[in-house]
């Protein structure tokens, strides 16, 4: 059985406060985009699982891959779960703020649930997904959501950007999430992203911010340059996504400059 885990972008990202458990309270809008990986799972009678990965390399042992962790998590609760053969083909850049790893984990849970008829509810899948990572629950719902707390409190919202074009640019710089959070200074915003998102999109440039941009742009000027270039080419809104190095631009018409960036950059237009 095959599924195609998609990515997401963050529309605004405010870090509001540091929590006693070491995490941060935040608010953001998660918006799904159709840049996809490919995930296949088959049952096997072998004594061990077989996990293989192609496409973009992942520098982690297969037993520590989030897909493997998803199987291990369900195995603890469903001992009858058989060993599997899993293949993941990666096209979503890693460490890029696009949630590719989180999507892989969440889609693995859903696929195992369906393939082996575990009859888990959506809420149960969300609870399992949260044990894999703060962004994972979003991919169980996989519709535009206002997200709070660690990112796991999700409220679906009525938001469609289907009349716009997206240009996704990643300079192949890996940003460590923990490091990004360690440099952030939490502050309560004057205006919530849930309010800004319903304003005309032309106002987002001034009001809708990603709190990580300031420090990351100082450390990696190439990422800031991408945002500047997107605006120069006519984006109505551009921003870094999440804590990663990906910058996206939202355009009113199809872009013709996807080859404007260096050849080693990941650049893709999403319609």
In order of start, what are the domains of the chain with their CATH numbers?
A: 2-156 (3.30.230.10), 165-270 (3.30.70.890)
CA–CA separation, 138 vs 147, rounded Å? Answer: 9
**For the segment 171-189, what is each residue's pLDDT rounded down to a tens digit?**
999 888 778 888 888 888 8
Question: Does the pLDDT value for residue 78 go beyond 90?
Answer: yes
Per-residue pLDDT at 45: 87
The single residue of 37, 135, 211, 227 carrying the catalytic annotation is 135
The dihedral region occupied by 90, where left means phi > 0, alpha psi between -120 and 50, and beta the remainder, is beta
Q: Which of 8, 90, 211, 227 is catalytic?
A: 8
> Contact, 135 vs 102, CB < 8 A?
yes
164 in Cβ contact with 202 (< 8 Å):
no
Structure-model confidence comparison of residues 221 and 263, the more confident one: 221
Mean pLDDT on 205-229: 95
Is the pLDDT confidence value at 255 over 80? no
Do 8 and 139 meet the contact criterion of CB atoms below 8 Å apart? yes
Whether residue 135 lies in the annotated active site: yes
The answer to whether 8 is a known catalytic residue is: yes
| Average pLDDT for the chain | 92
Does the pLDDT of residue 94 top 70, yes or no? Answer: yes
Query: Over 70: is that where the pLDDT of 257 sits?
Result: no
User: pLDDT tens digits, residue range 31-61?
Assistant: 999 999 999 999 998 888 999 999 998 877 7
Two structure tokens written together for 193: 């992203």
Query: Is 86 in contact with 40 (CB distance < 8 Å)?
Result: yes
Residue 127's pLDDT band, with cuts at 50, 70 and 90, is: very high
Q: How confident is the model at residue 259 (pLDDT cuts 50, 70, 90)?
A: low
């Amino acid at each position: 059985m095959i599924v195609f885990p998609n990515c997401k972008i963050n529309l605004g990202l405010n870090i509001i406060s540091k929590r006693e458990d070491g995490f941060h309270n935040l608010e953001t809008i998660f918006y799904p985009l159709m840049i996809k990986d490919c995930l296949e799972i088959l049952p096997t009678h072998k004594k061990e699982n077989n996990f293989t990965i192609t496409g973009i390399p992942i520098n982690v042992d297969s037993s520590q891959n989030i897909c493997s962790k998803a199987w291990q998590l369900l195995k603890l609760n469903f001992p009858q779960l058989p060993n599997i053969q899993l293949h993941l083909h990666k096209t979503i850049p890693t460490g890029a703020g696009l949630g590719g790893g989180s999507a892989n984990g969440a889609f693995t849970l859903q696929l195992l649930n369906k393939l082996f008829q575990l009859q888990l509810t959506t809420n149960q899948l969300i609870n399992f997904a949260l044990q894999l990572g703060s962004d994972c629950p979003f991919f169980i719902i996989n519709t535009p959501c206002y997200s709070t707390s660690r990112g796991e409190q999700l409220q679906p919202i009525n938001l469609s950007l289907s009349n716009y074009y997206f240009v996704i640019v990643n300079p192949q710089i890996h940003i460590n999430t923990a490091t990004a959070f360690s440099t952030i200074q939490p502050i309560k915003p004057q205006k919530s992203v849930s309010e800004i998102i319903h304003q005309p999109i032309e106002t987002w440039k001034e009001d809708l911010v990603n709190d990580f941009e300031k420090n990351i742009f100082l450390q990696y000027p190439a990422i800031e340059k991408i945002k500047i270039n997107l605006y120069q080419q006519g984006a109505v809104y551009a921003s870094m996504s999440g804590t990663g190095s990906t910058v996206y631009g939202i355009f009113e018409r199809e872009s013709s400059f996807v080859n404007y960036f260096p050849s080693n950059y990941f650049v893709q237009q999403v319609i």
